[in-house]
Amino acid sequence: MIADERRQHAIQFLAERGFVALPALASELGVSESTARRDLAQLEQEGLIKRTHGGAVFVSDRFSVLTYATREMEAEEEKTSIGRAAAALVADGEAVLLDGGTTTFQLARQLIGRPLQVVTNSLPIANLFGSSPETELILVGGYLYPKTGVACGPLAQRMLEAIHVNKVFMGAAGLVEEGCFNANTLMVEAERQMMKCADEVVILADHLKFGRRALVKLCSYDEVSCIVSDDQVPADWREKLTNVGVTLRIGAPDRSQVETQL
């Protein structure tokens, strides 16, 4: 595998997982760790990844597209609009807890440079704030879920028990009449503890999640303060959320980008 092909493969591998340790990347590419390290240095110069102690995270705009491509239809523009709308709910000086995920990653990008306390269990999100002097970053530790770079498990649970924040933002793999669902039992355990930490619980979900059920129920709607979605949410779901007392905020498309493309 020539260098360009190898680096392209490294980009795909990182994008699908969010975070990759150096030994795992070297093994995937079939090269030495020193060669993998040089590839990462080149990719960091191109702004695609950010190197960390022992590995790297993917921080390009393609992060959300490529990771979601491995699971379902991507909705990059919708997630970006959701991130902007969710950022408007955050006041300077607040403490916010950001769960891992491609939609919360878009929210995190909107919050860079703001005077906040940010708590997260996501290495990709933490790396966005790592060099931001305006933001106080608290990283939750624990078992690192390999596909997403998100910490969960007993250690994460215990740390979350000692934390209080104004708002928690988390994604959902599915929203049905019974409530919000997610696809991983370990992550749902951590997310339930996150909800206990916060004064307000905000769910970020693009329109593709409505009417879909995932593996594990996360919560009922009476535990949710607000749901932020995009402008393609079906009309019947807007009515359903109103009927159960959940505030729905809609992220508007970025018209400036549309005009530029035209």
* pLDDT reported for residue 256: 42
- Over residues 83-111, mean pLDDT: 94
Query: What is the distance between the alpha carbons of residues 19 and 171, in angstroms, rounded to a whole number?
Result: 18
Question: Where do the domains of the chain lie, and which CATH numbers do they carry?
Answer: 3-60 (1.10.10.10), 72-261 (3.40.50.10470)
The DSSP result for 90-102, as a single string, is: PPTT-EEEE-SSH
Cβ neighbours of 152 (radius 10 Å): 26
- 3-state DSSP call for residue 145? strand
Helix H segments across 57-172?
63-69, 76-87, 102-111, 123-129, 154-161
* pLDDT reported for residue 63: 41
Proportion of the chain above pLDDT 70, given as a percent: 86
Instruction: Pick the range with the lowest mean pLDDT from 42-46, 123-127, 166-170, 174-178.
Output: 42-46
Query: What is the distance between the alpha carbons of residues 91 and 70, in angstroms, rounded to a whole number?
Result: 34
Banded model confidence at residue 75, pLDDT cuts 50, 70, 90? low
Q: Is the pLDDT of residue 29 over 50?
A: yes
* pLDDT reported for residue 16: 64
Banded model confidence at residue 68, pLDDT cuts 50, 70, 90? very low
Any idea which residue has 């059920």 for tokens? 213
Which tens digit of pLDDT belongs to each residue from 164-185?
999 999 999 899 999 999 887 8
Backbone angles phi, psi at 226, to 5 degrees: -160, 145
Proportion of the chain above pLDDT 90, given as a percent: 45
Q: Is the pLDDT of residue 2 over 60?
A: yes
- Over residues 133-162, mean pLDDT: 86
- Over residues 41-68, mean pLDDT: 68
Reading the block at residue 245, the tokens are 């007392």
